[in-house]
Chain A
């Protein structure tokens, strides 16, 4: 009885709170979060039809019934779609959550030709189920946390306890416990708390919506974080090589896929360095390219009023605007934006003499190379470095490109994610992880850096 007055006063202006009295029982639930059919099935049908025993719990057939020991717990259950049943001084919660999420769909941000076509959605239980379907082992553990004073969002870390290193799990759990915010809307917001000290452009935490990627990461010894109301999961720790190769490489023949893996690394460099190289060669180091090509470039640039660097920056920024508008704009209008962008950048700008045709080719190569990477954070990092390279090349030419490259490599080499070097397994060299990531080869071991249990097959 003590809880009833507290509920009534706390939820005074909450119009979706439903209060029901059935015989001696008081029922409280939020109708926007609860499924009416389940309430009827688990509670009302039985409590109306039969005589209420002393211990009502024995009557009700609910699969998930929890005792309430405090008012704080009561509020938590109430706000999570549970129906609160108060019988005298006792109170318990019965799960009657409504299914407010969408069905399991195909991955939208990480599509592949081969492999599974399911992806996570906003339902925590569904996501957990999709993962547990792939790893049917009692060694798959999950630690749950509640994040957000008002949102009280359920966040869980998953790991395989016989594979993962305990200190990693401890560190991550500690960070999650220390999060003190009002509310959290998506798992992306957790990245800020999990990787606080990072001033590096490149991301250290991978985000995925694919359960097959998650299960592969768990088996490597990584920790996964999933969150209720978010269709993505975080993978920690993540290295540069993890962002470059998609999961579909595991489903294709190694002899064919190794060429593509090498090509992707080459595209990473190409998307960063191409505009800087063009500026360095055409403004500083004319002797590096054949004479015919140089004369061709000169002829193309005859009518352009801007210096090469200004022309390059204008074109790159215009392409970034086009890409950003393509993401934001509704997909039904998407094709119109592409046509407009192509006309504006390609045909019209060249005809008007604002930019040269070679600049269109340079920027096209740059952007096509960067589109190999589906992770938005990686694309943002590539963009930032591209402009750094460009500016340094515009001051020092090829020497500047070399300098910028040294800065780039040293920046990546000195970056750490959860005490592990970001350039792993290139530096420090680890053949085991290279066989998983950089080149696809037969591999019977796990990496020592990630796992305490390096031989596959041992429990």
Chain B
């Protein structure tokens, strides 16, 4: 009998501490952090079945701003289903990222995005911004908060944020040198970046004779080799999807010539991309990791090395070059 009373009292006194009735929970799908007039301003979009709700809060720091937003809402904000976090150029990204890392009530599968438009959530109030961004980025550029926080804890790689325009489209990426934003990279650079990340949803456009050739990459394998210089070896299997050149190359030699055009074009683009990253001092490829693994020190960082790029492409689907 005593045991039952003790168990019963233990349950009554210790239970229900995080009980939240579903009707009282506001499921936040996206948050925007902005910094104006020496204070943080947050805009939170709460998902609903038919329409969503947008709430704003202000405060001296991130935590205070979110608390105010929580108070202004008629529901208790829940960030377990967060899909997108927007930051504007004025925000100190370190404050935001460290707050999100420390908060145990936040999941880590949302996307962190860079935007110049502080009203992006309010302007798209009719749709669920978080859901739309989530669906788009999952297929385009799957780089979640989990990946960002891994980069933060690893000194040998820098993180980047996708740049979103006011119509919720990707404009490019913003590489960061530690917590400092650098020069943004455009969509062409993003394409090369995806090839270097072994993303097969990439393409290459190359000048071929007096026309253009566009190839889709069906399979890519990029390897980094550290020696006296950094060797980037890219093996690709491609298929031609657009071909408006007057060069008619149907035989084996002709195909080899096309492949060499693709190789040289890709090498050039990768070289330009690496130079841009070096100028920004943003090692988003994590080349320092390979150097450290090889040499067990970073006496020479990735910026000090020369780069040798070898691209070996194979056209496995000839497509439009045949009449």
Interface membership of A446, Cβ < 8 A: no
| A394 proximity list for chain B (CB < 8 A) | 15-16, 19
Stretch of A120-128, A301-309, A372-380 that contacts chain B = A301-309
Query: Is B22 a contact of A284 with CB atoms below 8 Å?
Result: no
A301 to B25 alpha-carbon distance, docked (Å) = 12
The distance in angstroms between the C-alpha atoms of A158 and B29, with both chains bound, is 68
Q: Does B304 contact A (CB under 8 A)?
A: no
A400 near B: Cβ within 8 Å?
yes
Evaluate contact between B80 and A297: CB separation under 8 angstroms: no
For the side of the interface on B, what is the size category?
A: 20 to 34
Report the Cα distance A308→B22, complex, angstroms. Answer: 8
Shortest distance from the beta carbon of A201 to any chain B beta carbon, whole Å: 15
Is the beta-carbon distance between B47 and A284 smaller than 8 angstroms?
no
Contact status of A392 and B22, CB under 8 A, knowing A291-B47, A294-B27:
no
Which of A284, A295, A392, A396 sits near B49, CB closer than 8 Å?
Answer: A295
Given A298-B23, A299-B49, A302-B23; A284-B81 close (CB under 8 Å): no
Contact with A along B78-90 (1 / 0, CB 8 A): 1011010000000
Q: For the complex, is A420 an interface residue (Cβ under 8 Å from B)?
A: no
Residues of B within 8 A of A302 (CB): 23
| B293 within 8 Å of A (CB atoms) | no
Q: Flag whether A287 is at the interface (Cβ < 8 A).
A: yes
As a 0/1 sequence over residues 22 to 50 of chain B, the CB contacts with chain A under 8 angstroms (1 = contact) are 11010101000000000000000001111
Asked if residues A396 and B21 are in contact (CB atoms below 8 Å), the reply is: no
**What are the residues of chain B within 8 A of A299 when measuring CB–CB?**
48-50
A286 within 8 A of B: yes
Q: Return chain A residues, CB-CB under 8 Å to B12.
A: 395
A286 touches B15 (CB 8 A): no
Q: Closest residue to B131 on the A side, CB-wise?
A: A291
Chain A nearest CB, measured from B103 CB (Å): 13
The answer, yes or no, to whether A296 is at the interface (CB within 8 Å) is yes
The answer, yes or no, to whether B260 is at the interface (CB within 8 Å) is no
Contact bitstring A425-437, B, C-beta under 8 A = 1, else 0: 0000000000000
Determine whether the beta carbon of B22 is less than 8 Å from that of A291: no
**Contact yes or no, A284 B27, CB < 8 A:** no
Contact B16–A395 (Cβ < 8 Å): yes
User: From residue 272 to 301 of chain A, which have CB atoms closer than 8 A to chain B?
Assistant: 282-284, 286-287, 291, 294-299, 301
Determine whether A397 belongs to the interface, using a CB cutoff of 8 Å to chain B. Answer: yes
Cα separation A392 to B19 with both chains bound (whole Å):
13
Chain B 46-78, CB-CB to A under 8 Å as 1, else 0, gives: 011110000000000000000000000000001
Complex Cα–Cα for A405 and B76 (A): 31
- Across the interface, name the chain A residue whose C-beta is closest to B25: A286
Which of the four size classes fits the interface of chain A? 20 to 34
Contact of B107 among A284, A287, A298, A308 (CB under 8 A): A287
Check if B49 sits within 8 Å of A291, measured CB to CB.
no
Q: Do A284 and B25 have beta carbons less than 8 Å apart? A: no
Given contacts A291-B47, A294-B81, A296-B49, contact A283 B19 (CB under 8 A): yes
CA distance A458 to B69 in the complex (A): 80
Closest to B83 in A: A291
B11 within 8 Å of A by Cβ? Answer: yes
Q: Which residue from A308, A397, A400 sits with its C-beta under 8 Å from B21?
A: A308
Q: Provide the bound-state CA to CA distance between A37 and B129, in Å.
A: 92
Contact assessment for B81 and A286 in the assembled complex, using a CB-CB cutoff below 8 Å: yes
Asked if B27 and A298 make an inter-chain contact with CB atoms under 8 angstroms apart, the answer reads yes
Q: What residue in chain A is nearest B23 (Cβ atoms)?
A: A301
Which residues of B are found within 8 Å of A397, using beta-carbon distances? 18-19
In the complex the two chains form, what is the Cα distance from A291 to B134 in whole Å?
12
Residues on B with beta carbons closer than 8 Å to the beta carbon of A396: 11, 15-16
Beta-carbon contact of A286 and B20 below 8 Å: yes
Interface centre among B15, B22, B80, B107 (most CB of A within 10 A): B22
Q: A392-B11, A400-B15 are in contact. Are A301 and B81 (CB under 8 A)?
A: no
* B27 lies within 8 A of A291 (CB): yes
Q: Contacts A284-B19, A291-B47 given: A395-B107 contact, CB under 8 Å?
A: no
B11→A298 contact, CB < 8 A: no
> Chain B: which residue is nearest A407 at the CB level?
B7
Closest to A286 in B: B80
Write the chain B residue with the least CB distance to A304: B23
CB pair A283–B49 under 8 Å, yes or no, is: no
Verify A287–B81 contact, CB threshold 8 A. Answer: yes
Which B residues are CB-close (under 8 A) to A400?
15
Given the known inter-chain contacts A294-B27, A299-B49, please indicate yes or no for A307 contacting B15, CB distance below 8 A: no
B78 touching A298, Cβ below 8 Å = no
Most buried by B among A296, A297, A298, A301: A298
17 interchain pairs (CB within 8 A)? Answer: A283-B19, A283-B21, A284-B18, A284-B20, A286-B81, A287-B80, A287-B81, A291-B29, A294-B22, A295-B27, A298-B22, A298-B27, A298-B48, A302-B23, A308-B22, A394-B19, A395-B15
**Residues of B with Cβ closer than 8 Å to A?**
11-12, 14-16, 18-23, 25, 27, 29, 47-50, 78, 80-81, 83, 107, 131
The 3 closest A-B pairs by CB, nearest first: A395-B15, A287-B80, A299-B49
